[in-house]
Amino acid sequence: MISRAAARHYRPAQCLLTQSLSATRLGRRGLATVSHSAPPEPLLAPNAETHSHVPSFVPTQHFIKGRFVPSLDGNRTFPAYNPTDGTQITVVSEASAADVDAAVAAARLAQPFWESLPAGVRGAALQELSFIIHDNAPALAAIESLDSGKPVHDVRAELQQVQHVLRYYSGWADKMGGQTIQFEQDIHSYTRLEAIGVIGQIVPWNYPLSLAVWKMAPAIAMGNTVVLKTSEKTPLSMLYLCELARQTSIPKGVLNVVSGGAEAGMAIARHMDIDKVSFTGSTAVGRKIMAMAAESNLKKVSLELGGKGANIVFADAELEEALEHCFEGAFSNNGQNCCAGSRILVQSSVYDEFVNALKEMVRETEFTSQRSEYLSSCSCASNTQMDEEVIVGDPRDLDTTHGPLIDSDHLASVRQYIDAGERSGGTLYGGITPPGLNPRGAFITPALFTDLPATHPIATEEIFGPVACVIPFDTQEEAIELANASQYALAAGVHTRDLSTAIMMEKSLNAGLVWINTYNRTPPHMPFGGRKSSGMGKELGEMGIKEYTGELRLVGARALAAFRPGRGGGGGKKWC
């Protein structure tokens, strides 16, 4: 059962929204009334008992108009698997175009009312959601860990960011204004920001909750309504978040979530009544999304796509810190990260020293097959990692830093890259199957290559797994050339103590994000997005919410001469 303890935090927001609802047609029709009566259907999880925080009920159906509903097309379903042992967790409703139509209709109906609410009320509703997520973080983390194989420790950290993003955009809701433009004495002009309308959002599996909230929070804050499709590999956590959203004052139809794969994604991208599609996923699918948007109703498009980050270490860097950032940058989330700094460029004079230390980190990876005690009370804020070691193991174990990859197919693709690297004469460290873990789980240890040319597929293609290569360079110019020699341009890192080098590199690197003396930081305030084949548009920050505002509407009004202020008569009240 979901905690109601958050109520004390968000009562004021509910009151505000209730007042607004009661004064509107939509409110009188009861569309915004939250029903707590119908429980979600049970999660059929054979191993749920072992995930002590997995709630006994987790929704598995689409969330449309505030209700969990089965697929219209013969109740179609698909299986959800646990990557730790390959077992089936449950079956989940699979959306066809008809389900997407139903979700879009609900979103379209709710949108004008939602946009008409005072902006602060919309913001307050998002804040409510952040509070209720806080109170239910252990359950959400357990579901996510079960479904994605992420260490429960990592998911809790991710959930903190999710709450932060919701609160960040709740604050922006009532601060998005237009401009007054007075370019001539007798012409008064102003711009006004509007919501776009119904937004289709498609997300991948590597950060299922964060990436969904990065998209839905600014969209909803601006007065849009949303039809979001999760990845077929990780549908469960977002459905549980919908169950939490049902308990807030977010009206029915504002947030709609469908589960499924390419068919549902294509239905969103091609939909004639969706005003914008925001996609995060592979570059190959991103290209198709853009074509489908163009061929249907020319809906707006933003794309967050693949990457192949270069993490550049100069000889004058604080090497110990750079080492941590390079290791984490390449291997956190098992390298299943669009920003993964999987090309580590190291200046020749410190190459041997640096690479030896990196090799040690890879070699020291430990494996754990036994499960240590769960923290019985696991609020996000209270848990800390036991130590700094790299431990590949059961994601439920709080010591584990690296769980399995998302599934065995993905593991096979990662192994193919490793095999290719070895066949080409690269020297491999790590990249082994950890002993003692379930052989049906998609486990592999971090893999580091040296002695490969910068043109090798390991150095140029997005592997999206824990495989990195180290490449030496001599001069700054060479580092820039190597780093920019990629079809991708999402993220890069520079490690140096020299301010001039840092600024010169930042200006010369062709990447949407450049981190200096750090890596992989994505605070809600900082816009995030790529260039070239890494996409277009921004998430997070002020730019992130502007992605969900309609065109600036420019209104120009010219004062009649007779009524111009200071030119006699009329008091300046009448405009044409």
Q: Least CB distance from residue 266 to ligand NAD, whole Å? A: 4
Please tell me whether residue 266 binds ligand NAD under the rule CB under 6 A.
Answer: yes
Cβ nearer to ligand NAD, comparing 168 with 354: 168
**Selected binder of ligand NAD within 53, 153, 215, 229 (CB under 6 A):** 229
Euclidean distance between CA atoms 292 and 537, whole angstroms: 17
Q: Do 228 and 238 contact (CB within 8 A), yes or no? A: yes
Cβ nearer to ligand NAD, comparing 400 with 534: 534
Give the range of 42-50, 174-182, 275-283, 424-432 binding ligand NAD by CB under 6 A: 275-283
Cα end-to-end distance, the chain, whole Å: 60
**Selected binder of ligand NAD within 168, 417, 443, 464 (CB under 6 A):** 464
Cβ nearer to ligand NAD, comparing 266 with 516: 266
**Selected binder of ligand NAD within 176, 285, 390, 509 (CB under 6 A):** 285
Strand 300-304 to strand 535-536: parallel, antiparallel, or no bridges (unpaired)?
antiparallel
Please tell me whether residue 218 binds ligand NAD under the rule CB under 6 A.
Answer: no
Q: What 3-state class would DSSP assign to 402?
A: strand
Q: Least CB distance from residue 416 to ligand NAD, whole Å? A: 16
Please tell me whether residue 232 binds ligand NAD under the rule CB under 6 A.
Answer: yes
Hey, which residues between 197 and 216 contact ligand NAD (CB under 6 A)?
Answer: 202-206, 211
Please tell me whether residue 515 binds ligand NAD under the rule CB under 6 A.
Answer: no
Which residues are part of the catalytic machinery?
304, 338
* Tokens (6 digits) for 170: 């709740």
Q: Least CB distance from residue 226 to ligand NAD, whole Å? A: 15
Euclidean distance between CA atoms 172 and 166, whole angstroms: 10
Euclidean distance between CA atoms 445 and 364, whole angstroms: 10
Hey, which residues between 294 and 353 contact ligand NAD (CB under 6 A)?
Answer: 304-307, 338
Please tell me whether residue 231 binds ligand NAD under the rule CB under 6 A.
Answer: yes
How is 229-281 classified by DSSP, letter by letter?
A: E--TTS-HHHHHHHHHHTTSSPPTTTEEEE--SHHHHHHHHH-TT-SEEEEES
Q: Least CB distance from residue 461 to ligand NAD, whole Å? A: 10
Inter-axis angle of helices 319-331 and 348-363, nearest 10: 60
Count CA within 13 A, CB hemisphere, residue 130. 25
How many amino acids of this chain bind ligand NAD (CB under 6 A)? 31
- Give the number of other CB atoms < 10 A from CB of residue 155: 29
Please tell me whether residue 281 binds ligand NAD under the rule CB under 6 A.
Answer: yes
Cα→Cα distances 325→10, 63, 423, 500, Å? 38, 39, 29, 21
Give the range of 63-71, 259-267, 365-373, 448-456 binding ligand NAD by CB under 6 A: 259-267
Cβ nearer to ligand NAD, comparing 90 with 534: 534
Nearest residue to ligand NAD by CB is 265
Cβ nearer to ligand NAD, comparing 210 with 400: 210
Q: Least CB distance from residue 154 to ligand NAD, whole Å? A: 15
Q: Least CB distance from residue 253 to ligand NAD, whole Å? A: 22
Please tell me whether residue 530 binds ligand NAD under the rule CB under 6 A.
Answer: yes
- Give the number of other CB atoms < 10 A from CB of residue 17: 24
Euclidean distance between CA atoms 101 and 496, whole angstroms: 52
User: Which H or E element spans position 143?
Assistant: helix 137-148
Alpha helices, H only, 272-311: 283-295
Cβ nearer to ligand NAD, comparing 283 with 365: 283
* Nearest alpha carbon to residue 209 among 307, 303, 137: 137
Please tell me whether residue 282 binds ligand NAD under the rule CB under 6 A.
Answer: yes
**Selected binder of ligand NAD within 144, 397, 407, 462 (CB under 6 A):** 462
- Contact mark string toward ligand NAD, 494..513, x via CB under 6 A: --------------------
Q: Least CB distance from residue 297 to ligand NAD, whole Å? A: 16
Cβ nearer to ligand NAD, comparing 211 with 361: 211
Give the range of 101-109, 172-180, 228-236, 364-372 binding ligand NAD by CB under 6 A: 228-236
Q: Least CB distance from residue 467 to ligand NAD, whole Å? A: 14
* Tokens (6 digits) for 111: 């949108």
Q: Least CB distance from residue 84 to ligand NAD, whole Å? A: 19
Which residues are CB-neighbours of 311 under 8 A, at least 6 positions away?
Answer: 325, 326, 329, 330, 341, 343, 344, 345, 492, 493, 495, 519
Euclidean distance between CA atoms 565 and 570, whole angstroms: 8
Please tell me whether residue 544 binds ligand NAD under the rule CB under 6 A.
Answer: no
Please tell me whether residue 482 binds ligand NAD under the rule CB under 6 A.
Answer: no
* Nearest alpha carbon to residue 95 among 332, 265, 341, 226: 265
User: How is the chain split among helix, strand and coil, in percent rounded to 5?
Assistant: 40, 20, 40
Alpha helices, H only, 276-407: 283-295, 319-331, 348-363
* Tokens (6 digits) for 283: 């570059």
Please tell me whether residue 490 binds ligand NAD under the rule CB under 6 A.
Answer: yes
Please tell me whether residue 262 binds ligand NAD under the rule CB under 6 A.
Answer: yes
Q: Least CB distance from residue 356 to ligand NAD, whole Å? A: 30
Q: What 3-state class would DSSP assign to 347?
A: strand
Please tell me whether residue 265 binds ligand NAD under the rule CB under 6 A.
Answer: yes
Tell me the backbone φ, ψ of residue 316, rounded to 5 degrees: -85, 5
Q: Which residue has the tokens 């479904």?
A: 147
Cβ nearer to ligand NAD, comparing 235 with 253: 235
Q: Least CB distance from residue 464 to ligand NAD, whole Å? A: 5
Give the range of 2-10, 189-197, 224-232, 434-442 binding ligand NAD by CB under 6 A: 224-232
Q: What 3-state class would DSSP assign to 304?
A: strand
Please tell me whether residue 159 binds ligand NAD under the rule CB under 6 A.
Answer: no
**Contact positions vs ligand NAD (CB under 6 A):** 202-206, 211, 229, 231-232, 261-262, 265-266, 269, 280-282, 285, 288-289, 304-307, 338, 462, 464, 490, 530, 534-535
